[in-house]
Each structure stands twice: as structure tokens, then as C-alpha cells.
Amino acid sequence: MDQRSGYGRVMPVQNLQDYFRTSIDEVIAGQGVDIDPHATHYVVNMMTLFSRSEHFYEDGDEASGLRPLALMLADAADSPTPEHRNQTLKRIGDVALFVAGFFTEGLRDKAVDVDYYMHMGQNAYGSLSEEVRGTLHGKAFADIYLELALKFRLLMDVLGEVRGSGGQDLVRTFEVWRKTGSQRAERLLREQGVFPIGGKPVH
């Protein structure tokens, strides 16, 4: 698909990953913030994954709601293996960043607000960086997790800017089009400057 930026240019975008990469890079450049490209790449992949509800909600069960971060943290503390603990810390960080950046407004009437998600996300990524630093996996990811912890607020603001440009509604509309081929969803995408290639769902 093609994506029309806020400056009126049309850029070729094959999928949501390309959309998020283009949008996030533009916001970072526009805000003049310094974020490591590897961390940006990580966030793009995370956003693309979570744009599909079956990956955002545990066991793909959207009806049961999102598992509270405090319970995830308890799971991490009781993990039977370091690998499971690290996977849980990663999920805490990812969910916290996604919610704090993309669904800030939805937290207004909740029991916990955005500062809670920021605190939990920063701590999860920071702990994960320390946990994996001495492992084979850590050679590639420890510094990325540390950057995510240190730049969590900046990244939260970046995602909020992407959301403010219509990203949240676009993600849901794209998911409906991808799953069903809905002509209405395709029309709404086109109205936002996003043109699905071939006019058929992308799997």
C-alpha cells in the first residue's frame, strides 16, 4: 500500500511494518530526538506484532482483557527458568510501551494512569538488559533493552505522535481489511492515504 505523509507526499508502503517505520522515523526526525536505530527497529517490529490483536492479548483472547502488569511481574518473579523470566519481562516492557504510547487517552478513567505504565516499562526493560547481558542473546539485545529503558518516555511521546496522526484508527481499520477484505475498510484506508496493494487482504 501507499502511505501519504502529513506533508502531502505519497510513499510506497507494503504493509503496517513499513507504515510504522516511516511514521516513527518522521516523528523522530521532526522532534529532533536521539534514539538508537536498533531500538527504533525493535519498536517498529513490536508495533507491527501488537497491531494484530491475537498477539497483543494473551492466548489471543481479547474478550478476557489485558493481563495486569503487576500480575505479569509476579509471574516473572516466580518464573521456573531464566528464559521464562526474561520473556515475561520483555512482554511487560512491550505492553507498557504500546499502551502508554498508543492508548494514553484510554487510561484516563482507569485505576492506573500512564505514569504507572511508564514506570513498569522502564523497570522491566532495565532489568531485562541486566539479565541478558552475559548471555549469547544479550550480546545483541542488552544494549537495545537498556536504550528502551532510558528512552522510554521519548519513545512513548513518539508513539503518541503517531497515534495522533491517525495511527490508532488506521491500525484497526487495516486489521479489519486484512482479515475480511472489507470494501468499507479499504475505502477508509484510502481516505487516510493508505492504499492496499492489489485491493485484497495481505496475510
Residue 13 has pLDDT above 60, yes or no: no
Query: What pTM value is reported for the model?
Result: 0.76
Mean pLDDT, rounded, for 89-117: 83
pLDDT of residue 96: 95
pLDDT at 155 over 90: yes
Question: Concatenated DSSP letters for 133-188?
Answer: TTSTTHHHHHHHHHHHHHTHHHHHHHHHHHIIIIIHHHHHHHHHHHHH--HHHHHH
- Residue 134 CA, chain-centre distance (Å), reads 27
pLDDT at 201 over 70: no
What local confidence, expressed as pLDDT, does residue 6 receive? 42
Greater confidence, 7 or 72?
72
What was the pLDDT predicted at 179? 67
User: Bigger pLDDT: 129 or 19?
Assistant: 129
Q: What is the model's pLDDT at position 97?
A: 95
Q: Looking at residue 200, what is its pLDDT?
A: 46
Averaged over 50-72, what is the pLDDT? Answer: 77
- What pLDDT score does 70 carry? 92
Distance separating alpha carbons of residues 203 and 56, to the nearest angstrom: 17
pLDDT band at 9 (very low <50, low <70, confident <90, very high): very low
What is the rounded CA–CA span in Å between residue 124 and residue 87? 10
Residue 45 has what pLDDT?
A: 95
